[in-house]
């Protein structure tokens, strides 16, 4: 490995490779102390826990940020294009699947959105927001039980997620369980979240009560 102005002849290190592990056998200082690096989707992870960033993952992160900004501005097609490119660079990027699924859900394609959320959770079973977002997609399809289950799991993993309470409350409203719906409205706000205005209007009209 060579690069920059480091050391004689720009030598950084010499290494051997076996399976998914690199074994550094000579460093720039000429020492022979071995350092082991495991090859992961995020880069090289040393035996001391240090991770050297994978350039592909770095570029995927930049595309994720770009996609999120476009999504926030309502440019859903542009956002999906960025998430697609991020996944080309890193096919195991769970958050990119989650974000792309959310955009597809906002465009009304709930089946495609659920497929993306499923893939995100296969890659990262503890990605709380993917459970919540999948729950919202199921609610849009009229499957309120699955919607509630998804939001419940999201809350189990991250109880301070106001979006999960908002979406679960909406599903409760559709099931005509208005007391629980109003309780989730309150909890969402306690956590600093903003209750969806369409949900609140629907709940107010359906329950015949206000806050």
What's the pLDDT at 162? 95
CB 211 within 8 A of CB 182: yes
Question: Last residue of some domain: 79, 98, 125?
Answer: 125
Query: What is the domain extent for residue 96?
Result: 54-125
Q: Is residue 165 part of a domain?
A: yes
Residue 1 has a pLDDT of 36
Q: Using 50, 70 and 90 to split pLDDT, how confident is the model at 37?
A: low
* Burial zone of 63 (CB within 10 Å; 0-12 exposed, 13-18 middle, 19+ buried): buried
DSSP string, 65-124: HHHHHHHHTT-HHHHHHHHHHHHHH-TT-HHHHHHHHHHHHHTT-HHHHHHHHHHHHHH-
Domain count, the chain: 3
101 domain-assigned = yes
Residue predicted with more confidence, 174 or 5: 174
Show Cβ contacts of residue 80 under 8 Å, excluding neighbours closer than 6 positions: 67, 100, 103, 104
Q: Is 17 helix (H, G, I), strand (E, B) or coil?
A: strand
Q: How confident is the model at residue 11 (pLDDT cuts 50, 70, 90)?
A: very low
| pLDDT band at 59; cut points 50, 70, 90 | confident
- pTM for the full model? 0.74
- Give residue 48's pLDDT: 59
CATH number for the domain harbouring residue 197: 1.25.40.10
Q: What whole-number distance in Å separates Cα of residue 203 and Cα of residue 162?
A: 17
Tell me which residue of 120, 132, 121, 116 sits closest to 165, measured CA to CA.
132
Whether residue 147 is contained in a domain is answered as yes
pLDDT tens digits along 85-136: 999 988 999 999 999 999 999 999 999 999 999 999 999 999 999 999 999 9
Average pLDDT of the chain is 83
With respect to residue 111, please indicate whether it lies within any of the assigned structural domains.
Answer: yes
Residues 74 and 45 in one domain: no
Mean pLDDT of 174-199: 97
Q: Show Cβ contacts of residue 156 under 8 Å, excluding neighbours closer than 6 positions.
A: none
Matching residue, tokens 């597809």? 104
């Amino acid at each position: 490995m060579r690069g920059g102005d480091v050391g004689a002849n720009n030598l950084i290190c010499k290494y051997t490779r076996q399976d998914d592990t690199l074994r550094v056998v000579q460093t720039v200082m000429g020492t022979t102390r071995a350092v082991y690096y495991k090859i992961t989707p995020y880069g090289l992870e040393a035996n001391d826990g240090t991770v050297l960033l994978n350039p592909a993952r770095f570029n995927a992160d930049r595309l994720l940020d770009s996609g999120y900004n476009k999504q926030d501005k309502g440019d859903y097609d542009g956002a999906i294009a960025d998430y697609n490119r991020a996944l080309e660079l890193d096919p195991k990027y769970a958050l990119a699947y989650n974000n792309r699924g959310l955009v597809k859900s906002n465009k009304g394609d709930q089946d495609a959105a659920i497929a993306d959320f499923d893939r995100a959770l296969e890659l990262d079973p503890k990605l709380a927001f993917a459970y919540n977002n999948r729950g919202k997609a199921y609610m849009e399809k009229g499957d309120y039980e699955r919607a509630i289950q998804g939001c419940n799991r999201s809350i189990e993993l991250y109880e301070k997620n106001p979006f999960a309470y908002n979406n679960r409350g909406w599903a409760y409203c559709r099931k005509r369980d208005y007391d629980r719906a109003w309780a989730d409205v309150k909890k969402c706000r306690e956590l600093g979240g903003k209750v969806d205005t369409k949900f609140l209007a629907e709940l107010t009209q359906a329950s015949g009560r206000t806050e």
